Amino acid sequence: MLKAKYLLFTFLVLASMLIGACVKAPSEQGNTPNTTNGKKDGNIKIGFAMATLKEERWQKDNKLFKEYCEKLEGVDCVITVANANAQKQANDVDNLLTQEVDVLVIAPHDATQAASMVDKAKAQNVPVISYDRLINSAKLDLYISHQVPVIGKKIAEYAVEKKPEGNYVIVYGASTDNNAMILREEFDKVFKDKKGINIVANQHAKDWKPEEALKIVENALTQNQDKVDVVVASNDGTAGGAISALETKGLTGKVLVTGQDAEKAALQRIAEGKQTMTIYKPIQPLAEGAVDAAVKIAKGEKLNSEPFKSGSLEKEIPAILLEVQVIDKDNLMDTVVKDGWISYDELFKNVAEDKRPKKE
């Protein structure tokens, strides 16, 4: 009798252990991602670490990136904004990696510091896309941007064509931004050996701030008795700062001022005759292209990219580079208005009706 009871007890213990093991097994399996074609089960999660939303163009990037993610089935996006603070962006990236994103997209505030973020992501087998601004890392899975070298060349060549002689002030972008350095390199190539051009000032505007550009141009005007013919501003924000400096001297519209980004305020200044040109870089193809590329990378699919090499990189990386266009007073209607980038009424709101082009 005792032997029978002992055998029954032993059987019940063994059965209990077996049942416990069967219940626990699926839970343990669930902690290990099951991957197919490089994609985790469930939705693809994309992390987008942005540097800033201060400029109008970055607000568009944020909006379009988010909206496109929401349209796609099976795609989730988490967007962070570092408020132009490199350390905050590093913390943002840490947070995104903790959330187990499948792909990390970074628009870097500091191109050099962001390389450590790439290293951290790659150590966790998370692919990285450098968005708009190039990160100083050859470990990138993709660099997607507009044709930055072409932008620099177009800005400089436009200035030379319109003003082949005179005093030039060059306002470079942030020295921590690779795009600013690429632009600088292209400017230098065009201006080199141009005998009629006298570069009286050239300086980087910290963090692309308009107020920094204002100071640079103010100093240049003071040091050259207001004799400045061209301000080569690297984007529309710095162009706005430059124009503020010119306004105090009564030189608005008399000095050629370049820009980049086709911001609403800049396009209005072009319509008014205060700013001479800008570079139109449609944001929608960039934002949506980045999301599409991230999805393809997550799925292990081939990208339609091209090799890209910059002086800051030790080797070529895959790149998708989008086309750009020069905008000035002559083609406002055929470009930004026609494309719906800005409405006719918004564009010419500060221009007298009798001086506006005919609405088509």
Cβ proximity of 164 and 156 under 8 Å: no
The β-bridge partners of 256 are 230
Residue-level pLDDT at 162: 98
Whether 156 and 274 map to the same domain: the answer is: yes
| Phi-psi group of 276: left, alpha or beta (phi > 0 → left; psi -120 to 50 → alpha; rest → beta) | alpha
**pLDDT bracket for residue 2 (50, 70, 90):** very low
For residue 165, the domain's CATH number is 3.40.50.2300
> Comparing 66-70, 91-95, 267-271, 311-315, which segment has the lowest mean pLDDT?
311-315
> What sections of the chain are H helices per DSSP?
2-30, 56-71, 86-98, 114-123, 148-162, 178-191, 210-223, 236-247, 264-272, 283-299, 344-347
269 with 221, same domain: the answer is yes
256 and 159 belong to one structural domain: yes
Contact 51, 133 (CB under 8 A): yes
Predicted TM-score (pTM) of the model is 0.80
Asked, for residue 24, whether it belongs to a domain, the answer is no
Q: 218 in a domain, yes or no?
A: yes
Q: Is the residue at 3 inside a domain? A: no
CB atoms within 10 A of CB 85: 15
Regarding whether 344 and 266 lie in a shared domain, the answer is: yes
pLDDT average, residue stretch 246-258 = 97
Listing DSSP states for 170-183 in one string gives: EEE--TT-HHHHHH
Is 188 part of a structural domain of the chain? yes
Nearest to 230 by CA among 175, 180, 170: 170
- Beta 306-308 vs 317-322: how paired, if at all? antiparallel
Q: With beta carbons less than 8 A apart as the criterion, state whether 108 and 133 touch.
A: yes
pLDDT at 244: 98
Asked if residue 155 belongs to a domain, the reply is yes
Looking at the structure of the chain, the number of domains it has is 2
Q: 228: pLDDT confidence band, cut at 50, 70 and 90?
A: very high
In a domain, residue 122? The reply is yes
pLDDT band, very low/low/confident/very high, at 33 (cuts 50, 70, 90): very low
Examine the domain organization and report whether 329 and 315 are in the same domain: no
What's phi and psi for 32, nearest 5 deg? -110, 115
- pLDDT, position 270: 98
The mean pLDDT of the chain is 89
Compute φ and ψ for 134, nearest 5 degrees.
Answer: -80, 130
Tell me if 13 is assigned to some domain.
no
Residue 13: pLDDT band with limits 50, 70, 90: very low
Q: Are residues 215 and 331 in the same domain?
A: yes
**Nearest residue to 294 (alpha-carbon basis) of 140, 178, 116, 182:** 140
pLDDT digits (tens, 9 = 90+) for 199-212: 999 999 999 999 99
Q: CA neighbours within 13 Å on the CB side: how many for 305? A: 25
The confidence score (pLDDT) of residue 288 equals 97
Given strand 230-233, what is the order of strands in its sheet? Answer: 197-204, 166-172, 230-233, 256-257
- Residues 183, 247, single domain; the answer is yes
pLDDT of residue 103: 98
Structure tokens given for 85? 């603070």
Q: Which of 119, 117, 139 is nearest to 317 (CA)?
A: 139
Based on the fold, state whether residues 44 and 68 are members of the same structural domain.
yes
Domain that holds residue 318: 40-145+283-322
Say yes or no: 104 and 242 in one domain: no
More confident residue, 113 or 4: 113
The tens digit of pLDDT for each residue in 280-337 reads 999 999 999 999 999 999 999 999 999 998 877 889 999 999 999 999 999 999 999 9
Note whether 315 and 277 are same-domain residues.
no
pLDDT at site 39? 42
CA-CA distance, 317 to 185, in Å (whole number)? 20
Residue 2 within a domain: no
- 180 and 306 in a single domain? The answer is no
Residue type (1 letter), 191: F
203 and 60 share one domain: no
Q: How far apart are CA 178 and CA 108, in angstroms?
A: 9
- Summarised one tens digit per residue, pLDDT across range 341-354 is 999 999 999 999 99
What is residue 101's predicted lDDT score, i.e. its pLDDT? 97
Per-residue pLDDT at 26 exceeds 60: no
